[in-house]
Amino acid sequence: MFLMIGTRPDLAYSVGYLSRMLDKPSTEDIVRVKRVFRYLAGTLHKGIVYKPDCNPGELKCYSDADFVGCTATGRSTSGVVVSHACAAISWLSCRQAIVSKSTTESEIIAATEAAKEIICLKRLFCDITKLKCIPVLYVDNSAAVKLAQNPEFHHRTKHIDVKYFLVREKVVHQSIAISQISTEHQLADVMTKPMDIV
């Protein structure tokens, strides 16, 4: 967990998944933990490389969600990666608190988590340096992007809790921008799905 928090965003999903089984680990869970340790031993040379002249003053954020990724609870997993100087500076992978009824809802919940992270980092950056442009949040779900950009009430989104529309408020007030990105370029995808190590 120490490595995942500090320097290894690639471990976020695996550590989160394995942490769910701490009270009663099965034999399969122990095999998975050993697989993570083997992965770490084989990737000791991997790390985050920051490039100070790469997009200076830009804050980019990527959010993604898997729909009903946890078969035991029916909950989705949110993944967020924030980058500056062409490398990750903040990331998270966590199981969502509620069961989503649609992919759009799970993506909006993940985008709201990303918006919270952007707000926090913007405040931190104001004390350190100046951002040259509005931070951009990249989401690979077109319906979630449209929902965040359009403040109109839609009858198909009545089931989504109001607290998850923080991202919509921030887009409307131009605190952040939201843009669609293809799944191939979605950096947060690794935070929502198992890699070969789990």
For the stretch 120-175, pLDDT in tens is 999 998 888 888 899 999 999 998 999 888 866 566 677 777 778 889 899 989 99
pLDDT, tens digit (0-9, with 9 covering 90-100), for 3-22: 899 899 999 999 999 998 88
CA distance 174 to 149: 10
| Residues 195, 36 contacting (CB under 8 angstroms) | no
Name every residue whose Cβ is closer than 8 Å to that of residue 93 and which is 6 or more positions away in sequence: 12, 13, 16, 77, 78, 79, 80, 191, 192
| Residues 57, 129 contacting (CB under 8 angstroms) | yes
pLDDT the model gives residue 171: 92
| Residues 64, 140 contacting (CB under 8 angstroms) | yes
> Minimal CA–CA distance to 193: which of 66, 37, 29?
66
Handedness of CA 112, 8, 179, 17 (dihedral sign): negative
Which DSSP letter does residue 99 get? Answer: -
pTM above 0.85, yes or no: yes
For range 89-97, the mean pLDDT: 95
**Any idea where the domains of the chain sit in the sequence?**
1-198
The CATH H-level (homologous superfamily) assignment of domain 1-198 is Ribonuclease H-like superfamily/Ribonuclease H (3.30.420.10)
Q: How far is CA 123 from CA 110, 120, 127, 128, 134, in A?
A: 20, 5, 7, 9, 13
